[in-house]
Homo-oligomer: A and B are copies of this chain.
Amino acid sequence: MPRVTIIGTGLIGASIGLGMKKHGPRDLEVVGHERSLDHAKQALRTHAVDRMERDLAAAVEGAALVIIATPILAMREVLEVIAPALEAGAVVTDTGSTKADIVNWGRTLLPDTTAFVGGHPMAGKTDSGPLAADAALFQDARWIVVPDPLVPPDAVDVVVGLAQMLGAKPVFMDAHEHDAYAAAISHLPLVAATGLFRLARSSEAWPELSALASSGFRDTTRLTATEPVMAHDIAITNRAQIVHWIERYREELRLLQLEIADTEHEAELFRTISESNMQYAAYRAGAVGRREVDDDQFDTIGDISMMDLLMGGQLAERARELTRRSEERIAESERTARAAGRDG
């Protein structure tokens, strides 16, 4: 029986479970591990997983694919605990909102007979927990896949296949590139929303302000509802990039402030506002400044590799192949070291 293990069955983990039960092979077994007893029960009740395994190491036994969907800072310990229990040939991926630290942990903590491929589905919603989960959560969303050059391409294909199975569009990205982009487009909006809410909330006039708040305020501040552990872990693991983008945002606000304050150039302000409005309409229409991902490149590889892995037929073969590559890598690095020694 093909088996996948989902570690952490909150909104994302449980949505992956629901999606895999819906679109995956009929006899697929989805094993869950979840620290929160409430979430564990909810994920079972909604059939996001077939069974829960309390022991983390035992949870990954026999699993061809392991998906870590815990908060970011918890992932390091998860990797340490599951490392000795992973099947040879297993592919491990994650769903964390930052990638550089996680990919580094995966590379250093997992045995060479397994492959870690970082992932980040760009989807979410205000509600959290398994009860908010939805098999269609990832439909048409981007799913970042980090193709570590040290990892065999077919392991990367497995994660591409996972994303495609759930209706998402896989996008390859370097971990550091991902974190820089995510800081601008995802983490800064989180800080901007939180700051806007905190400012209004700390006002003495908050009772009056909150009574006046309409959908505009609600939408602009809604990311304040991001799960606190998630928000905290994002900040800790992408600190420099976020600090950099807050600085640029504060400068952008200063420019707008100067334009609004300038009584001599009201036409200039109107030009700025109109320009933003037009560009925003183009962005929402998806028509301008948006390079479409070349979906063709993924057309067949992902699905096949994913199914192969889940079907288990090639598990042993994959393990041998991974071991061979690992040995080659060690031999290669020894050659390099020797060469460096000669040169030095």
A232: contacting residue among B205, B247, B261, B269, CB under 8 A: B269
Residues of B within 8 A of A115 (CB): none
| Residue contact A280 to B211, C-beta cutoff 8 Å | no
Whether A192 contacts B209 by the Cβ 8 Å rule is: no
Pick from B180, B228, B276: contact of A197, CB below 8 A.
B276
Q: Does A122 contact B (CB under 8 A)?
A: yes
Q: Give the chain B neighbours of A117 by CB distance below 8 A.
A: none
Query: For the complex, what is the distance from the CA of A206 to the CA of B192, rounded to whole Å?
Result: 19
Instruction: Tell me the minimal C-beta distance from A199 to chain B in angstroms.
Output: 5
Task: Give CA–CA (A212, B185) in the complex, Å.
Answer: 7
A contact residues, total (Cβ < 8 Å): 91
* Chain A 197-240 interface mask (CB, 8 Å, partner B; 1/0): 11111010111111111111111111111111101100110010
Q: Which of A38-46, A153-161, A285-293 contacts B (4 or more CB under 8 A)?
A: A285-293
Q: For A261, give its contact among B190, B243, B281 (CB under 8 Å).
A: B243
Q: Is A320 an interface residue (CB 8 A)?
A: no
The 17 sampled A-B contact pairs (Cβ below 8 Å) are A124-B214, A181-B205, A182-B212, A185-B213, A189-B217, A190-B216, A191-B256, A192-B253, A197-B276, A198-B276, A221-B280, A224-B276, A228-B277, A231-B277, A232-B273, A236-B269, A239-B261
Chain A residues in contact with chain B, CB under 8 A?
122-125, 141-142, 144, 171, 180-182, 184-186, 188-201, 203, 205-229, 231-232, 235-236, 239, 242-243, 245-250, 252-254, 256-257, 260-261, 263, 266, 269-270, 273-274, 276-277, 279-281, 283-284, 289-291, 293
14 further A-B pairs in the complex, CB-CB below 8 A; given A185-B209, A201-B289, A210-B289: A122-B212, A123-B215, A184-B205, A186-B212, A186-B213, A192-B192, A194-B273, A206-B289, A208-B291, A211-B290, A218-B284, A228-B273, A232-B266, A250-B250
